[in-house]
């Protein structure tokens, strides 16, 4: 009898521990799904900050050709699915409506007045919206101040000077029979040399496309619905996965997450999907019960099996606690990475704008550096986000810059794994070095040679030593440049500031040698 009671107690403990482990696994999947959506929106909003920097770089003199070239360089369709476009809406002074018609006729060949008719004291008009397609063409000339939801978001943006989002709305771009909920995000810009508002850099979003792009990739065994809880009840819905309502009545696990998007509060409701298979681990509880019943017939065997069952239960409890701790760590890390990514993009936009000679120079330089960050993020994603291997990172960056045009490269060194921060910094550094080599060094001459080698030294806290050696015939009068451009300053900021390392450049008759030293943690090697 005593053995049977002990067996029942163990079975109950195992069942409880398994239930906790299942719930923790569901919470991890839910957190990842919500983080994907939040990170996607924040990355898209960062594009508005970059566009505002471009607006200031050209002193507010936007033209359709230059603006279209800038947006085309961002490659919205393939890299930022969900954002319908990036545009500029001007704040109109009384009597400027006919100037809007003339501007649209000149830029787009479109004879259209400001619409719709409005009695508001303040009027606006969409003057630029790219990339140009039938959906965006339908929005040109639209007075977004004529609608209550858009007007409230625009006022909030003017008052705070920050990005401001609308509640869910139907975009004027929804001209087909298949419609989605949408929202808009505004960032105010001022007249050159003052604080007088000139208008808004803005972006319309299709919520369905945005969520589908965020959730693509590795499938997650959850279904979700997103809504704006600041909006009226009938207007809150943004998106729901196709099977959300079909499976919602028969689930065991569900949760809710909230986060802020440009002044709005979004709520994501998540429950288990068809692929979660939460009932499978219950088999272990059943087996434990059967084993406990059999042990009741043999006292000697019961003692041994009881001890093993207790040990298993403790191990499962530790696994559950570990999973919960890992979930919290992943959440904090994702939030930290989102903030760092936005900060890097903002800094690059400001510095690139300050160092650019003209619009095309700004667009090319900024797009190339964004692509370098994207390549590094791809490596991080393939390695579960923990970091990337140095050799693979160098190969990726050189392939982007040179393609098949330059084969005089030697690469060699031990396997070194970088963490996420080191990966981003080294990706930008290699990108700048390779770009400089292509323009001025080994890559610019047919007989140029490039050798990249690295070594590891020390125990515990290790030191990575990387040598970038370019060999090419010196041109008459060339040597060490008198001043360093933005690319060199960016390299120094990454190595000395971000990575706490050292960098030395040596110019000689045979070319250029750059020595880089970076301290690593013990696990990087």
At 459-481, the pLDDT tens digits run 878 899 999 999 987 665 566 66
- The number of folded domains in the chain is 2
pTM above 0.75, yes or no: no
Per-residue pLDDT band for 183 (boundaries 50, 70, 90) equals: very high
Per cent of the chain over pLDDT 90 is 53
Statement: residue 126 has pLDDT above 70: yes
In a domain, 20, yes or no: no
- Domain assignment of residue 305, yes or no: no
Asked if the structure places residue 394 within a domain, the reply is yes
Question: Residues near 471 by Cβ (< 8 Å), separated by ≥ 6?
Answer: 442, 448, 449, 450, 451, 510, 511
What integer pLDDT is reported at residue 406 of this predicted model? 56
Q: Which has more pLDDT, 293 or 49? A: 49
Residue pair 300/273 in contact (Cβ under 8 Å)? The answer is no
DSSP string of 255-315?
EEEEEEETTEEEEEEEEE-TT--TTTTHHHHHHHHHHHHHHTT-HHHHHHHHHHHHHHHHH
Q: 216 falls in which pLDDT band (50, 70, 90)?
A: very high
Q: Is residue 416 part of a domain?
A: yes
Which residues constitute the domain of residue 135?
47-209
Last residue of a domain, one of 209, 229, 248: 209
Domain edge (last residue) among 190, 209, 228 = 209
CATH number at residue 491: 3.30.565.10
Q: Is residue 331 part of a domain?
A: no
Q: How many C-beta neighbours within 10 Å does residue 450 have? A: 25
> The domain that contains 74 carries what CATH number?
3.30.450.350
Tell me, rounded to whole angstroms, the distance of Cα 474 from its chain centroid: 42
Domain assignment of residue 404, yes or no: yes
Of the candidates 426, 470, 412, which has an alpha carbon nearest to the alpha carbon of residue 444? 470
Query: Considering the domain boundaries, does residue 320 fall inside one?
Result: no
Is 5 a member of any domain? no
Predicted confidence (pLDDT) at residue 5 exceeds the cutoff of 50: yes
Q: Which two tokens stand for residue 93?
A: 């002074």
User: How many CB atoms lie under 10 A from the CB of residue 83?
Assistant: 25
209, 225, 248: which is the final residue of a domain? 209
């Amino acid at each position: 009898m005593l053995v049977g009671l002990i067996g029942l107690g163990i079975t109950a403990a195992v069942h409880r521990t398994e239930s906790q482990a299942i719930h923790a696994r569901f919470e991890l999947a839910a957190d990842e799904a919500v983080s994907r959506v939040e990170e996607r929106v924040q990355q898209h909003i960062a594009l508005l900050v970059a566009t505002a920097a471009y607006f200031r770089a050209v002193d507010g003199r936007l033209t359709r050709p230059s603006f279209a070239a800038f947006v085309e360089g961002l490659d919205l369709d393939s890299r930022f699915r969900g954002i319908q476009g990036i545009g500029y809406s001007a704040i109109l002074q009384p009597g400027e409506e006919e100037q809007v018609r003339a501007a649209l006729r000149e830029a787009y060949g479109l004879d259209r007045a400001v619409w719709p008719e409005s009695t508001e004291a303040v009027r606006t008009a969409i003057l630029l919206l790219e990339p140009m397609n039938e959906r965006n063409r339908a929005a040109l000339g639209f007075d977004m101040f004529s609608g209550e939801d858009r007007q409230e978001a625009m006022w909030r943006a003017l008052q705070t000077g920050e990005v401001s989002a609308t509640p869910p709305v139907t975009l004027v771009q929804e001209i087909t029979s298949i419609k989605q909920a949408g929202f808009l995000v505004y960032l105010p810009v001022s007249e050159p040399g003052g604080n007088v508002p000139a208008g808004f850099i803005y972006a319309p979003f299709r919520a369905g496309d945005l969520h589908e792009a965020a959730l693509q990739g590795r499938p997650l065994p959850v279904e979700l619905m997103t809504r704006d809880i600041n909006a009226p009840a009938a207007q809150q819905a943004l998106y729901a996965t196709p099977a959300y309502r079909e499976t919602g009545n028969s689930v065991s696990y569900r949760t809710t997450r909230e986060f802020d998007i440009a002044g709005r509060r979004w709520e994501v409701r998540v429950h288990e999907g068809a692929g979660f298979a939460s009932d499978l681990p219950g088999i272990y509880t059943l087996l434990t019960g059967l084993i406990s019943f059999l042990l009741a017939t043999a006292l000697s065997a019961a003692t041994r099996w009881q001890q093993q069952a207790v040990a298993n239960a403790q191990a499962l409890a530790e696994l559950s606690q570990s999973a919960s701790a890992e979930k919290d760590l992943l959440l904090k890390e994702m939030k930290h990475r989102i903030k760092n990514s936005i900060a890097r993009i903002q800094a690059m936009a400001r510095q690139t704008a300050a160092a650019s000679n003209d619009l095309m120079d700004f667009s090319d330089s900024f797009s190339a550096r964004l692509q370098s960050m994207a390549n590094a993020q791809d490596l991080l994603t393939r390695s579960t986000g923990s970091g990337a291997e140095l050799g693979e990172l160098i190969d990726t960056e050189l392939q982007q810059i040179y393609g098949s045009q330059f084969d005089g490269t030697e690469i060699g060194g031990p396997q070194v794994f970088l963490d996420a921060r080191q990966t981003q910094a080294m990706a930008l550094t290699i990108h700048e070095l390779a770009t400089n080599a292509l323009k001025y060094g080994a890559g610019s001459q047919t007989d140029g040679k490039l050798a990249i080698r690295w070594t590891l030294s020390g125990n515990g806290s290790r030191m990575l030593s990387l040598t970038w050696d370019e060999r090419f015939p010196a041109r008459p009068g060339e040597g060490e440049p008198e001043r360093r451009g933005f690319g060199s300053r960016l390299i120094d900021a990454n190595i000395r500031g971000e990575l706490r390392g050292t960098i030395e450049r040596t110019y000689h008759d045979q070319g250029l040698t750059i020595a880089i030293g970076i301290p690593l943690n013990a696990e990087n090697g």
